[in-house]
């Protein structure tokens, strides 16, 4: 019985959420139009919001986004209503993993209504999903200024700080490794210079697949090693030796 009632509501022109372009009944089109032709932009926006909520409840997130967008295009003068439309659309974008769009809607909602807490929580959550730590912390800090006991914001703030610590550790480790590699290479170049070897850094690297990853280095005995490319232009051939020690003949 309930299913039949839902079907009747879905097909009734006053309650239908989907307009069938093939339906040429003027009464149907007229009643559908009345839903969004009020002279009050807030009433129009509210109709779109209700429609969006209906689609959201059915997990039809793309349709819900279209409805909330329609509400915003109605240009409501009620800033709180406009903020709700932005936030509701942000929630739908979050479900679809459109985190960038979610963040933009949350920022727009906060600009319209700085006390709309849900915009802070969804914005922080979406920022965290994209590893945008600074953005997440900003949402959390601004939200906690207004709602100091908001558990979700506190949790997202802690998660963001934990991620930041991990990122800093990895970044510092990479920086230290790169610095050690640079210092080691400088020592090798100094040693090469002391051995009378001149290196021309202006020449482009030779495109030899076998040379990938090869480096000029010093072994434990203090001897230099390098790769050698022999070219025989008269025969159109080359030979490549990956590791040659300086005392080789």
pLDDT per residue over 44-62, tens digit each? Answer: 999 999 999 999 999 999 9
Cβ neighbours of residue 108 closer than 8 Å, sequence gap 6 or more? 83, 86
Verify that 113 and 233 share a domain, yes or no. no
Q: Are residues 139 and 232 in the same domain?
A: no
In Å, what is the CA distance from 122 to each residue of 107, 139, 140? 10, 9, 10
**Residues 6 or more apart from 41 whose CB is under 8 A from it?**
74, 75, 76, 77
Q: Are residues 114 and 158 located together in one domain of the fold?
A: yes
pLDDT at 198: 75
Range of the domain at 138: 36-170
The model's pLDDT over 132-159, given as tens digits with 9 standing for 90+, comes to 999 999 999 999 999 999 999 999 999 9
Q: Please give the Cα distance from 161 to 171 (Å, whole number).
A: 15
Rounded alpha-carbon distances, angstroms, from residue 218 to 9, 127, 183, 193, 221: 82, 47, 13, 13, 8
Number of compact structural domains in the chain: 2
Same domain, 161 and 43: yes
Q: Which of 125, 147, 170 is the last residue of a domain?
A: 170
137 and 42 inside one domain: yes
pTM of the model: 0.59
Element of type H or E holding 73 = helix 61-73
Cα first-last separation, the chain? 96
CA dist., res. 27 & res. 13, Å (int): 8
Within this chain, do residues 104 and 216 fall inside the same structural domain, yes or no?
A: no
pLDDT of 213: 63
Tokens of 116: 């709309």
Q: What is the mean pLDDT of residues 201-226?
A: 73
pLDDT exceeds 80 at position 173: yes
pLDDT, residue 41, reads: 92
């Amino acid at each position: 019985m309930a299913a039949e009632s839902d079907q009747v509501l879905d097909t009734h022109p006053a309650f239908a959420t989907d307009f069938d372009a093939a339906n040429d009944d003027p009464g149907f089109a007229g009643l559908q139009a009345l839903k969004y032709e009020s002279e009050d932009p807030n009433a129009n926006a509210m109709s779109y919001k209700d429609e969006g909520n209906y689609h959201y409840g059915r997990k039809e997130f793309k349709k819900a986004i279209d409805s909330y967008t329609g509400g915003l295009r109605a240009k409501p003068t009620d800033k709180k209503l406009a903020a709700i439309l932005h936030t509701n659309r942000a929630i739908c974008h979050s479900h679809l993993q459109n985190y960038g769009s979610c963040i933009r809607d949350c920022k727009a909602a906060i600009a319209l209504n700085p006390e709309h807490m849900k915009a802070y929580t969804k914005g922080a959550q979406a920022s965290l999903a994209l590893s945008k730590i600074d953005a997440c912390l900003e949402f959390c800090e601004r939200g906690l200024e207004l709602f100091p006991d908001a558990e979700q914001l506190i949790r997202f703030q802690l998660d963001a700080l934990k991620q930041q610590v991990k990122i800093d550790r990895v970044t510092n480790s990479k920086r230290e490794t790169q610095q050690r590699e640079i210092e080691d290479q400088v020592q090798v170049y100094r040693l090469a210079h002391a051995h009378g070897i001149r290196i021309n850094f202006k020449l482009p690297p030779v495109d030899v697949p076998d040379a990938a990853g090869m480096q000029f280095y010093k072994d434990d005995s203090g001897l230099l090693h390098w790769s050698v490319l022999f070219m025989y232009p008269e025969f159109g051939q080359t030979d490549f030796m990956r590791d040659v020690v300086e005392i080789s003949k």
